[in-house]
A and B are shown apart, each in its own frame.
Chain A
């Protein structure tokens, strides 16, 4: 399909707050994206009119209970069927920060055997505890299977900011080894926290900003069509968002975050 035919739905609910900049990134790349309140989607719209669904960052429903938990339940209850259909048709779902938490809570990620009826992983409270806003380095780990990074060479180091208090990716202790193996086998492990030279954090703060298991920053489903990450690519889209731009003699036109949005569009224009 042509670029201008692509339709992106940036979903929001009370407490969502990264919708505008997420939409801005897609719009800048020439695709049609709109911000929709879930009430509007449920009442007046059809999810299947879109090729991409985005759960942006924020504090959906105040993140009371557990980050992302309420919105995940709400979505499954109100439009579980459409969502299942959306995923099965190979349409794309992106979850950023709170959106990642929603996808994990909803059982869409890691989604080893399709959509799970219970969360197979969790984004637990940070270690060290507390909200943390800083730029981190990420290493791209997949060989092109994840659609959201299909344009990014394997082992490339990217820079983006994180800002969250619940981003520590964990599996149940007794399944840790097994699930990690499955992630690796399936090519689902997309981003790991590393230093600027690409050496893994190995849990060291602040290179790994939240104590994530295996330095995991972002994963996709086995098909590579559903992707969630804690860092914010939409805040690393333009050069002037970069924390060090005042030091550079020559800045690149864009930040690393753009690569993710571009990958999505590249895939859709070729495959749909």
Chain B
């Protein structure tokens, strides 16, 4: 540190004044680096100008507050900034491609979208559903258990932060291959097996202990996740809409409730807005927080009571940026200023400097605004639950944030300045990769190929993981993640959240990272299609979407270019399907010494079903029933599990045909509502062969299929028909009695009866030439499907 840049103020505690008024460019950057606030020169200059106007130097806590508020993690500079691509300028990817859909289609059932920490849609006329999905990749890479657990804890607080009672969790994870050779690991990168065990234990630990069922999820394996683990944690909550309060006013008391504040989670957001390096372990360990689910369970009880009694005027969680974000954002939202007395914040141990208290991301804390008249009752409610709650300041009418520490003013910032960071302008470019379509002879033994595919890591059973999560607690899980005696994978989870209503909530997801290697546009389209068709397959409709982007460093034009392409697809397809985005989150800078993460878009879909008694599971029910395929099969194997098995990537990435897809979704919904569907399963990784296999062993009956009846587009190879991953397709079981009516309902779609459920316990497939090409016993298939993760 250059000594004349920093000056300890004459206070009994640590408080630095930073001499930026006279600083040159290199010194400004030095300050940004030394304080680990991750701001660039343009941003530092704006700060310098602000303080020159004020005629004084900033304190460390002021610069830290600005750094937190302006971080990528808190402000989403890439998504909100400008992007130059192909000579055009896009002003905010977020506004242009994500938020615009809801503005354009104006669904009456969107209650609060992109305003709070979670999106809210109506459930029935009294209740709303709040949904949020978080990314917690960076902390999980450093400390898998703590990183994942606090990811769950954080997203649950996002739900509490809109006054909703958390009723279900989801988690979608991406790991490197579990059998990776240790020699291949660069310094500072943990083995995928270690990361996998830690992340799964962390997620289970938090959700189980808090008593929130983990009902939906997925696990993907990819080489690029070795250095950049992907951890998406979601939470769904229920709230009585009339109790939704957000109307903080000047003089309302700022109440901090929950866990004590310590040095854990300092600079979590700046760390999450940078690449991981081999030093990350050493430098960034303090950025990972420590989880205590029981504290949050108590906090939840108190908050729900306060909500029901309508004692507070606003609430928000403390997540990234800690108090600095929570206080600042609340003040900004209600056009207030704030006075904070930092010495009142309960600490885990003494000795924290004011800036550390203000930006610490210690877990299990919430911030409430409470009218002075009601403060006694609020504090009493927290006390009854054994939760510490403290008044730490109040909101004011002057639009200025003033922070005191033992009477000394340590910060004074205009809220308006704090929330107007200079707009970033980034450059993007996109070049299509040069994959070629492989050419190889058709294998002779397709039964063997099928056995290999169903035991590949991305398709094999995740039962070993799923059973470590409680998916039954609260007793409202109607359709569980595993179906039937043999634990088949259901397409979506269904909950019955209200005691006196049959209405159900349907949660599903879609993610296809391997398609993104060929084209992020079609990856995004496929993820949207998959999330929706999973929802539709069990009976869901009126679907809202959430986006979660995990990408590489957006300062690098090619990474940003692929992000733009994925965003374009988000707009095109979510708009076409009239499934608006209601919330989302991005995690950029996922780069490690091994390179960038493969672009990974998770789409979460939340639908409703008017009556849970309509819900359909994926297991076949009765021999003699017909099996139909809905949707057309194209020669689309680029990025497929089949090509991967053969060692190819290909370029025929599965596309989405909007009109056909929409017709298929609507017709399936209609058939389910008419009670014509015995079982329904979506076709995804591994295509027709895998979907049929799963339906058969989950139901305990055989299936006989005839490939020549499958509607295809001019391609004549059994293996391609079996394993093509064309989107918008379903397999449907229909009883003989219902066939005629089913066919009438499906008349606008491409569909065909392709086989039957049989009494035998064999999956038997007849090829295009009428010969048997697959003949496998259910026991054998089940054993291959269940084995891979079992051995881990």
Residues of A within 8 A of B (CB): 14-18, 20-21, 24, 37, 39-40, 57-59, 61-63, 130-134, 161, 163, 232, 234-235, 237-238, 240-241, 243-244, 246-247
Evaluate whether A14 and B384 lie within 8 angstroms (CB atoms) in the complex, with A132-B467, A244-B484, A247-B621 already known: no
Evaluate whether A237 and B619 lie within 8 angstroms (CB atoms) in the complex, with A62-B294, A131-B468 already known: no
Residues of B within 8 A of A132 (CB): 467-468
Evaluate whether A59 and B209 lie within 8 angstroms (CB atoms) in the complex, with A37-B384, A247-B484 already known: yes
Residues of A within 8 A of B499 (CB): 24
Asked if residues A247 and B467 are in contact (CB atoms below 8 Å), the reply is no
Q: How far is the CA of A59 from the CA of B205 in the complex (A)?
A: 10
Asked if residues A246 and B616 are in contact (CB atoms below 8 Å), the reply is yes
Evaluate whether A21 and B615 lie within 8 angstroms (CB atoms) in the complex, with A14-B294, A133-B469 already known: no
Which residue of the partner chain A has the closest CB to B479?
Answer: A246
Evaluate whether A17 and B473 lie within 8 angstroms (CB atoms) in the complex, with A59-B209, A62-B293 already known: yes
Asked if B211 is at the interface of the complex by the 8 Å CB criterion, the answer is yes
Evaluate whether A240 and B496 lie within 8 angstroms (CB atoms) in the complex, with A131-B204, A234-B475 already known: yes
Asked if residues A240 and B612 are in contact (CB atoms below 8 Å), the reply is yes
Of B211, B293, B298, B472, which one neighbours A161 at CB under 8 angstroms?
B472
Cβ-closest 8 pairs across A and B: A17-B211, A21-B475, A246-B617, A62-B294, A15-B294, A163-B470, A14-B298, A59-B209
Residues of A within 8 A of B484 (CB): 243-244, 247
- Minimum C-beta distance from B538 to chain A (A): 9
Asked if residues B474 and A21 are in contact (CB atoms below 8 Å), the reply is yes
Q: A-facing mask of B739-779, CB < 8 A → 1, else 0?
A: 00000000000000000000000000000000000000000
459-512 of chain B: CB within 8 A of chain A: 466-480, 483-485, 496, 499
429-486 of chain B: CB within 8 A of chain A: 466-480, 483-485
Q: A-facing mask of B646-673, CB < 8 A → 1, else 0?
A: 0000000000000000000000000000
Evaluate whether A59 and B208 lie within 8 angstroms (CB atoms) in the complex, with A24-B475, A240-B478, A247-B619 already known: yes
Q: A-facing mask of B681-703, CB < 8 A → 1, else 0?
A: 00000000000000000010000
Asked if B386 is at the interface of the complex by the 8 Å CB criterion, the answer is yes
Which residue of the partner chain B has the closest CB to A38?
Answer: B386
Asked if residues A58 and B211 are in contact (CB atoms below 8 Å), the reply is yes
Evaluate whether A241 and B475 lie within 8 angstroms (CB atoms) in the complex, with A14-B385, A59-B208 already known: yes
Asked if residues B468 and A241 are in contact (CB atoms below 8 Å), the reply is no
Residues of A within 8 A of B470 (CB): 131, 133, 163
Asked if B292 is at the interface of the complex by the 8 Å CB criterion, the answer is yes
Q: A-facing mask of B75-112, CB < 8 A → 1, else 0?
A: 00000000000000000000000000000000000000
Q: A18-B473, A240-B478 are in contact. List 19 more A-B contacts (CB 8 A).
A: A14-B297, A17-B473, A18-B211, A18-B474, A21-B474, A24-B499, A58-B211, A62-B209, A131-B204, A131-B208, A131-B469, A133-B466, A161-B472, A232-B475, A235-B473, A238-B475, A240-B613, A241-B475, A246-B617
- Minimum C-beta distance from A119 to chain B (A): 22
Asked if residues A163 and B294 are in contact (CB atoms below 8 Å), the reply is no
Asked if B168 is at the interface of the complex by the 8 Å CB criterion, the answer is no
269-328 of chain B: CB within 8 A of chain A: 292-295, 297-298
Residues of A within 8 A of B475 (CB): 18, 21, 24, 232, 234-235, 237-238, 241
Asked if B210 is at the interface of the complex by the 8 Å CB criterion, the answer is yes
19 examples of A-B residue contacts, CB within 8 angstroms: A15-B297, A17-B209, A18-B211, A24-B499, A37-B384, A62-B209, A131-B469, A132-B467, A133-B468, A133-B469, A133-B472, A163-B470, A232-B472, A238-B475, A240-B478, A241-B472, A243-B484, A246-B483, A246-B615
- Minimum C-beta distance from A137 to chain B (A): 11
Residues of B within 8 A of A (CB): 204, 208-211, 292-295, 297-298, 384-386, 466-480, 483-485, 496, 499, 612-613, 615-617, 619, 621, 699
Residues of A within 8 A of B478 (CB): 240-241
Most buried by B among A16, A132, A244, A247: A247
Evaluate whether A133 and B471 lie within 8 angstroms (CB atoms) in the complex, with A62-B209, A240-B496 already known: yes
Residues of B within 8 A of A246 (CB): 479, 483, 615-617, 619
Evaluate whether A37 and B385 lie within 8 angstroms (CB atoms) in the complex, with A20-B474, A163-B472 already known: yes
Q: How far is the CA of A20 from the CA of B213 in the complex (A)?
A: 14
Residues of B within 8 A of A59 (CB): 208-209, 211, 293-294
Most buried by B among A16, A24, A133, A244: A133
Asked if residues A133 and B386 are in contact (CB atoms below 8 Å), the reply is no
Q: How far is the CA of A48 from the CA of B386 in the complex (A)?
A: 25
Asked if residues B479 and A39 are in contact (CB atoms below 8 Å), the reply is no
Which residue of the partner chain A has the closest CB to B383?
Answer: A39
- Minimum C-beta distance from B133 to chain A (A): 22
Q: How far is the CA of A18 from the CA of B211 in the complex (A)?
A: 7
Q: How far is the CA of A63 from the CA of B204 in the complex (A)?
A: 15
Which residue of the partner chain A has the closest CB to B504?
Answer: A240
Q: How far is the CA of A133 from the CA of B499 in the complex (A)?
A: 23
Most buried by B among A58, A131, A240: A240
Evaluate whether A163 and B615 lie within 8 angstroms (CB atoms) in the complex, with A133-B468, A134-B467, A240-B496 already known: no
Residues of A within 8 A of B295 (CB): 14
Residues of B within 8 A of A18 (CB): 211, 473-475
Residues of B within 8 A of A235 (CB): 472-473, 475
Q: How far is the CA of A18 from the CA of B474 in the complex (A)?
A: 6
- Minimum C-beta distance from B753 to chain A (A): 22
Q: How far is the CA of A17 from the CA of B483 in the complex (A)?
A: 25
Asked if residues A163 and B473 are in contact (CB atoms below 8 Å), the reply is yes
Q: How far is the CA of A190 from the CA of B778 in the complex (A)?
A: 36
Residues of A within 8 A of B612 (CB): 240
Q: How far is the CA of A15 from the CA of B385 in the complex (A)?
A: 11
Q: How far is the CA of A24 from the CA of B298 in the complex (A)?
A: 21
Residues of B within 8 A of A163 (CB): 208, 470, 472-473
- Minimum C-beta distance from B161 to chain A (A): 20
Residues of B within 8 A of A240 (CB): 478, 496, 612-613
Which residue of the partner chain A has the closest CB to B214?
Answer: A133
Most buried by A among B292, B466, B467, B621: B467
Residues of B within 8 A of A243 (CB): 480, 483-484
Which residue of the partner chain A has the closest CB to B613?
Answer: A240
Of B210, B292, B469, which one neighbours A17 at CB under 8 angstroms?
B210
Q: How far is the CA of A161 from the CA of B480 in the complex (A)?
A: 12
Q: How far is the CA of A234 from the CA of B476 in the complex (A)?
A: 10
- Minimum C-beta distance from A98 to chain B (A): 10
Residues of A within 8 A of B384 (CB): 37, 39-40
Asked if residues B211 and A14 are in contact (CB atoms below 8 Å), the reply is no
- Minimum C-beta distance from B291 to chain A (A): 11
Residues of A within 8 A of B386 (CB): 14, 39
Q: How far is the CA of A15 from the CA of B293 in the complex (A)?
A: 8
Residues of B within 8 A of A40 (CB): 384
- Minimum C-beta distance from A56 to chain B (A): 10
Residues of B within 8 A of A21 (CB): 474-476
Residues of A within 8 A of B471 (CB): 133
Q: How far is the CA of A21 from the CA of B615 in the complex (A)?
A: 22
Asked if residues A62 and B292 are in contact (CB atoms below 8 Å), the reply is yes
Which residue of the partner chain B has the closest CB to A63?
Answer: B209
Asked if residues B298 and A133 are in contact (CB atoms below 8 Å), the reply is no
Most buried by A among B292, B470, B612: B470
Q: How far is the CA of A244 from the CA of B480 in the complex (A)?
A: 10
- Minimum C-beta distance from A200 to chain B (A): 19
Residues of A within 8 A of B468 (CB): 130-133
Q: How far is the CA of A135 from the CA of B298 in the complex (A)?
A: 29
Residues of A within 8 A of B477 (CB): 241
Residues of A within 8 A of B211 (CB): 16-18, 58-59
Q: How far is the CA of A16 from the CA of B301 in the complex (A)?
A: 11
Q: How far is the CA of A16 from the CA of B386 in the complex (A)?
A: 13
Q: How far is the CA of A95 from the CA of B613 in the complex (A)?
A: 32
Q: How far is the CA of A133 from the CA of B470 in the complex (A)?
A: 6
